[in-house]
Amino acid sequence: GHRAQHLFAGLMDDEVWTVRYAAANALRSFGQPGEKMLRAMAASDVSRSQRTASLILAEGPAT
């Protein structure tokens, strides 16, 4: 799981929006650890991954 989380975290800066969105949702599916990574990204410098993480977190809890 840990390696997969880092793989998805790396994809969060991809140029393609759908790739970033899918990676963020995949991270979220890991539960607490993935949510923690998303929160860290959302609080980081403004970047594609920061904006994507913020958007995913704004969608509310994982279903």
- The pLDDT, as a whole number, for residue 46 is 84
Q: Which residues contact 6 (CB under 8 A, 6 or more apart)?
A: none
Average pLDDT of the chain?
A: 92
* Res. 32 pLDDT band, cuts 50 70 90: very high
Given a cut of 90, whether residue 27 has pLDDT beyond it is: yes
Contacts of 26 (CB under 8 A, 6+ apart): 4, 8, 34
Q: What's the pTM value of the predicted model, to 2 decimals?
A: 0.81
Q: Are the CB atoms for 5 and 33 separated by under 8 Å?
A: yes
Q: Which residues of 11-24 are buried (b: 16+ CB within 10 A; e: fewer)?
A: bbebeeeeebbebb
63, pLDDT greater than 80: no
